[in-house]
């Protein structure tokens, strides 16, 4: 194979952006051959924009029946990701799915099984893994520089959204349409990086969510999650779409100091001696280990969505290692599911979660939903500069 | 009265420091006339240091019986603060108590009643209230600049203590001796500032504590507390004595932006428009209110312990307003008590707390304590540069 024929399902905000990138030739080795969207206005837009070079479908069956695709980008609402990925794997296609992996881990697990069975290349649009800052955090932790982790603390409240954002699509911020709010739509990137950089998955979760706290929506727009890890470390994850200007500050404390990512900088306060060792050996009462504040050099730039697109195509064509293997999408989703379960039950949730319980609770939410969106025009928003 | 004759009870780390300051004439209008400590080595130290100018007592009864004091500084272990303050008020003396106000609110309430009945000047050693940074935070909130508060988030993990610190006194870090760990010894300052600057007391608390997590002690050395306020805002308070170098970062998000105190700087991200108003009026989907990052000018310096000493003496002599009225000590202690109760019961705690329940649980802890300190020499540590 010298080039990958790519089809895209879903021409919403993200799918439209990916389609444009590939169509313009910005992803070497990839050619856009087909798009699919059931909405007439998006079909019209695709015809107008791509002309006869790209097949435009409004039916999924027709899209999957056509022979002219090797690989599929799934950019539909969240619920459909696993179902469509499974269909794609069964059709022998490579898959790149938008985040989150899905809404509940039960069918994401099935998706992962289908991926494994197919042997196809499966990636997830965790574009923030292309950010060299977080790659460096991961490297400093996995190489042992930070030592055993004691605490993680991510304040990621800079996902500000106004009511008009929520009103821009009927599916947005509903249990039936999205399956959640800030945890399922905005924060999956950080939920992914939280476990990817540290290599730690929580063993239990206690979370507190505000549902429709700052907006006229039924899902959560404000979350505080406390977690515990197997090694005894604890963690916090705080997110909201109701604060402006918000904060994005990720701190990881370890036995050899602490790392902080904030304002696009990575700072390492490095202890010359292990704290645990100092604690045992020091006899002076007040005092602490010598500490060096280090501005960690970070090279390269965040290649974002196009970086993931290129990596996926490179993996298909040349067997490159995936930066964001699709199978890993279940990790951040499992944390997210646990946060909902804990908030709903007002109790601890052990991980791995009870997948059936989560699924059932979510169905209840959908069933009990009395939420009716005000009459709004569905619009495709320009996502330049967003995630 | 032209000068205040001050007696000091307890010549441990803090009492020794206060005694030296007053003896050296650093607190105008105050003269050190008496000190009291039951430990022979501290009595010897006092004789050697102060000579015949200061009466040295090893018995509390003798100390209170002497006519040569107008005012008392209480710098004993925490448990004794309320009892001694009540005795002092009943003896017609003004009182300055070291923090915390006590260990449980039940007898702190009695102390406050005795203070009110006496009409004497009662202050608490919340020396960090003298820090102009926090005074400015308080002013920006009370004046309405920040708008309605949405979230408070204090990471105060820079209370590093090594095992040798805990081993420096048999009473340290025991239920019977201190009644707690980082919440009762190191964090009372921030617990005070947390509610003093924001004007908000939690309505309920859910906390998670590690007991003896980083040290060979029976009390907590690691705490994460989540709180909710009456206006719907939420808050976090994270503290530890097991992390180096630790963090001291206080963030308050409000309707008009956010304040952050870190690295001895106060930054105000100020929205030109109320976020709540923007949320209702903006129609553009993605977008947020215009925000100005402002380095808030902060004048003056933190006068710390001596500032509180001087203010207390000034209040006694000239009726100055107290920066840290003693009666307010119960507020931070009540939060602290709630954090313990929540951690022990692994459940929510509504505020005001059930004072009897807390007292009973604490007695259980004391009773069940199997903790025996290793044989250590009790030492008086130099507290210069600590709090």
ipTM: 0.94
Bridge-based pairing state of the strands B234-240 and A257-262: unpaired
Concatenating the DSSP letter of every residue in B148-210 gives SEEEEEEEE------HHHHTT-TTTT-TTTTS-STTTTTTHHHHHHHHHHH---EEEEEEEEE
Mean pLDDT value of segment A155-175: 94
Q: Is the pLDDT of residue A385 over 50?
A: no
Chain A: residue whose CA lies nearest to B376: A283
Dump the DSSP string for A301-367: ---HHHHHHHHHHHHHHH-PPPSSBGGGHHHHHHHHHHHHHHHHHTS-EESS--HHHHHHHHHHHHH
Residue B116, pLDDT > 60, answer yes
Q: What is the mean pLDDT of chain A?
A: 95
Structural fold of domain B4-128+305-326: Rossmann fold (3.40.50)
Task: Tell me, yes or no, if B387 comes closer than 8 A to chain A by beta carbon.
Answer: no
Task: Inform me whether the C-beta atom of residue A163 falls under 8 Å from chain B C-beta atoms.
Answer: yes
Say whether pLDDT at A165 is over 90. Answer: yes
Adjacent-strand bridge partners of A41: none
DSSP letter at B325 equals B
At residue A373, the pLDDT reads 56
Please write the tens of the pLDDT for every residue from B348-381. 999 999 999 999 999 999 999 977 655 444 556 5
Tens digit of each residue's pLDDT (9 = 90 or more) over B193-237:
999 999 999 999 999 999 999 999 999 999 999 999 999 999 999
Interface of A with B in 241-270 (CB under 8 A): 242-247, 249, 251, 253, 257-258, 260, 269
Is any Cβ of chain A less than 8 angstroms from the Cβ of B386?
yes
Q: Write out pLDDT tens, residues B236-290.
A: 999 999 999 999 999 999 999 999 999 999 999 999 999 999 999 999 999 999 9
* Residue A211, pLDDT above cutoff 90: yes
Distance CA B64, CA B84 (A): 10
B185 class by beta-carbon count within 10 Å (0-12 exposed, 13-18 middle, 19+ buried) = buried
Superfamily of domain B129-299+331-368: Dihydrodipicolinate Reductase; domain 2 (3.30.360.10)
Q: What residues of chain A lie within 8 A of the CB of B240, using their CB?
A: 150-151
Mean pLDDT for B179-184 is 97
pTM for the model = 0.95
pLDDT of residue B383: 52
pLDDT at B385 over 70: no
d(CA B160, CA B147): 34
Average pLDDT over residues B113-125: 98
pLDDT > 50? residue A56: yes
Q: Residues B258, B269: contact at Cβ < 8 Å?
A: yes
| Structure-block tokens of residue B34 | 């008496």
Residue A360: CB partners within 8 Å, gap ≥ 6? none
The answer to whether A242 contacts B213, with C-beta atoms less than 8 Å apart, is no
pLDDT in tens, B309-350: 999 999 999 999 999 999 999 999 999 999 999 999 999 999
Q: Show which of residues 165-194 on chain A sit within 8 Å of chain B, judged by CB atoms.
A: 165, 168
Residue found by looking up tokens 């490297």 in the block: A139
B93 three-state secondary structure = coil
Distance from CA of B167 to the nearest CA of A (A): 8
Q: What is the pLDDT of residue B376?
A: 46
Which chain A positions have a beta carbon within 8 Å of B161's beta carbon?
286
User: Mean per-residue pLDDT for A129-137?
Assistant: 98
Given pLDDT bands bounded at 50, 70 and 90, which one contains residue B9?
Answer: very high
Q: How far apart are CA B56 and CA B7, in angstroms?
A: 10
Mean pLDDT of A264-270: 98
DSSP letters, A238-302, are EEESS-SS--EEEEEEETTEEEEEETTEEEEEEESS-HHHHHHH--SSS----EEEEE----S--
Residues of A in contact with B162 (CB under 8 A): 278-279, 282, 284-285, 287-288
Neighbouring C-beta atoms of residue B55, cutoff 10 Å: 18
Give the pLDDT of residue B204.
98
Longest pairwise C-alpha distance within chain B: 78
Residue A151 sits at the chain B interface (C-beta within 8 Å):
yes
Q: Measured between CB atoms, does A289 come within 8 Å of chain B?
A: yes
Mind listing the pLDDT tens digit for each residue in B132-173?
999 999 999 999 999 999 999 999 999 999 999 999 888 889
Distance (Å) of CA B86 to CA A369, B2, B110, B118 = 58, 25, 8, 9
Chain A residue nearest residue B269, CA to CA: A245
pLDDT of residue A214: 98
- Best of B285, B290, B294, B347 to disrupt the A interface by mutation (most A CBs within 10 Å)? B285
> The tokens of B201 are what?
């007391």
Q: Where are the domains of chain A?
A: 4-128+305-326, 129-299+331-368
Candidates A240, A248, A286, partner chain B, best to mutate (most B CBs within 10 A): A286
Find all residues with CB under 8 Å of A72, minimum gap 6, and list them. Answer: A6, A7, A8, A9, A84, A88, A93, A94, A95, A96
Residue A341: the pLDDT is: 98
For residue A386, pLDDT over 80 is answered with no
pLDDT, position A376:
46
């Amino acid at each position: 194979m010298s080039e990958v024929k790519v089809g895209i399902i879903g021409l919403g905000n993200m799918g439209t952006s990916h389609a444009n990138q590939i169509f313009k030739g910005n992803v070497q080795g990839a050619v856009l051959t087909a798009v699919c969207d059931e909405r007439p206005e998006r079909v019209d837009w695709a015809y107008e924009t791509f002309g006869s070079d790209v097949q435009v479908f409004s039916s999924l069956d027709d899209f999957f029946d056509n022979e002219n695709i090797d690989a599929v980008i799934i950019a539909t609402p969240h619920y459909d990701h696993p179902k469509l990925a499974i269909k794609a794997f069964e059709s022998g296609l490579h898959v790149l799915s938008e985040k989150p992996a899905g809404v509940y881990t039960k069918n994401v697990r099935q998706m992962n099984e289908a991926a494994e069975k197919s042997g196809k290349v499966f990636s997830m649009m965790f574009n923030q893994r292309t950010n060299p800052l977080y790659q460096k955090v991961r490297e400093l932790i996995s190489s042992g520089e930070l030592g055993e982790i004691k605490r993680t603390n991510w304040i990621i409240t800079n996902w500000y959204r106004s009511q008009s954002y929520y009103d821009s699509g009927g599916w947005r911020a509903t249990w039936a349409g999205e399956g959640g709010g800030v945890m399922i739509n905005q924060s999956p990137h950080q939920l992914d990086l939280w476990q990817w950089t540290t290599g730690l998955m929580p063993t239990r979760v206690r979370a507190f969510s505000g549902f429709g706290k700052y907006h006229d929506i039924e899902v959560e727009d404000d979350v505080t999650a406390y977690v515990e890890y197997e090694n005894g470390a604890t963690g916090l994850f705080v997110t909201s779409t109701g604060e402006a200007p918000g904060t994005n500050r990720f701190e990881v404390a370890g036995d050899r100091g602490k790392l902080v990512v904030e304002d696009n900088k990575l700072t390492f306060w490095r202890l010359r001696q292990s704290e645990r060792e100092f604690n045992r050996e020091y006899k002076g009462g007040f005092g602490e280990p010598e500490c060096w504040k280090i501005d960690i050099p970070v090279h390269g730039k965040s290649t974002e969505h196009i970086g993931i697109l290129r990596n996926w195509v490179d993996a298909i064509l040349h067997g490159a290692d995936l930066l964001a293997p699709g199978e890993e999408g279940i990790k951040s989703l499992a944390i997210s599911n646990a946060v909902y379960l804990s908030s709903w039950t007002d109790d601890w949730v052990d991980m791995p979660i009870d997948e059936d319980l989560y699924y059932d609770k979510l169905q209840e939410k959908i069933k009990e939903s009395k939420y009716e969106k005000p009459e709004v025009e569905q619009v495709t928003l320009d996502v330049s500069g967003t995630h």
